[in-house]
Amino acid sequence: MLYNTTPDQLYEPRSSIVDPLGYGKVAVVTGCASGIGLACTQLLLAHQFSVCGVDRAPFDYALLRVADHGRFHFHQADLAQDPAACDEVVRICLHASDQRNDQPQRIDVLVNVAGMLDNFASADTVTDAMWDQVLAVNLTVPVRMMRAVLGPMKEQQANVTTGGGVGGVIINVASTAGLSGAVAGVAYTASKHGLIGATKNVAWRFRHEGIRCNAVLPGAVDSSVGQAIANRVDEGLDTAGFAEAAPVHALQAQASPNKAPGSNGATSITALDVAKAVVFLLGDQASSINGVCLPVDKAWGVM
């Protein structure tokens, strides 16, 4: 195994100082129950955002600080199964934000994290079922979520003169596979390339409406990739496709010199590292950054 299957953990901020970045703001996070989605949820809550999280898996509230429970609303749904599910999630989040903040309904941030790895199948072996499922989860759902939040975000921008604030920020979690053809199967690679294209299109189209759209491109992350690969081994990994990608993955593991004993070559990139990049891109320091694809991969993607 190239990567650890590190379990999700409770996040405790190092500082007790309250960060006002997200005060009065609402963020929607897909895939919030584990991995990068959970880390984004925890960090956004630590920055005082109210967070509406959605995941097809149940959420373990023990992974949140008790002090943050009041600003977190969880909705369990499989967004890929129902074309109307994304609109429903946004409707629920708007209602929840109205109830919590005693302010007009709003969505300030969308973080599209929910995704799935393929089985490393190439174009000659990928099944229709695998192709359809991966493209639905990794590309169709993020686009539907963007479509669902763009209405409220544009309305917020229209209300700037009355104190409504800027439109909003969208962060899509893509992957090194969005720029490379050598790290995953054909379905995952195509889906992440497509998500980068959608990110750039939204950034350009709505640049004058107070809406920014960027992507982060994680390399292999300890808490998710190892478990995903382990699951695919159980479910039937495409051995030929994985054999071609494994040496490229090993290069990233080699780029992580501070590996713990017994880590079996694990990369030291964590879900929290990716979440920190997400928070940077949605903050004021990144107010002029729009349409970028930010790698979080310790230079793995420069090859």
Among all residues, which ones are annotated catalytic? 188, 192
Placement of tokens 């919590």 in the chain: 100
